[in-house]
Amino acid sequence: MLLTTQHSYYLFSLLSKPLLQGTHQNLRSIEERGRERNVRERERESAMASRFWRWYADREFYKWEKTVLWDMIEPYRRPRSFAPLISIYVAAFYTGVVGAAVTEQLYKEKYWEEHPGEAVPLMRPKFYWGPWRVMNGEVPPSK
């Protein structure tokens, strides 16, 4: 014969009555409170999840709505200016120019320390490894 949960509760209550008076009821109430707490936690979690999905749906809908609105207005807007882009390009170019000048000056100073009084040969390009020729001057020795 298989014992079900009800049978085990009944046997437990019979065996424990004289020793543990009322403990069985306390155990049941603790289990029920635990179940109620789990139900409340699940409800809270599901409420949080549904709130999240509501937020996500609103966000997607209004994003679509804004896209439609801006698509209607787009032909009437003035064209964007290229001034910020051009100023960034100019700043980057001159940053490179200054960096190259500093690098070349450091190269010359290092060469003069090692070979005082000699003419400094042209510096090899740092980030170009392809073929190149020098129009006026000597080709620097390859390393």
Q: Where are the domains of the chain?
A: 9-76, 82-118
| d(C-alpha 123, C-alpha 102), whole Å | 12
Whether the CB-CB separation of 123 and 104 falls below 8 Å is answered with yes
SS3 (DSSP) at 9: helix
Triad 29, 34, 37: Cα angle to 5°: 125
User: Is pLDDT at 105 greater than 90 in this prediction?
Assistant: yes
Residue 129 confidence class, pLDDT cut points 50, 70, 90: confident
| d(C-alpha 24, C-alpha 14), whole Å | 10
pLDDT at residue 61, rounded to an integer? 83
Q: How far is CA 65 from the centre of its chain?
A: 27
Global pTM reads: 0.41
| d(C-alpha 134, C-alpha 126), whole Å | 15
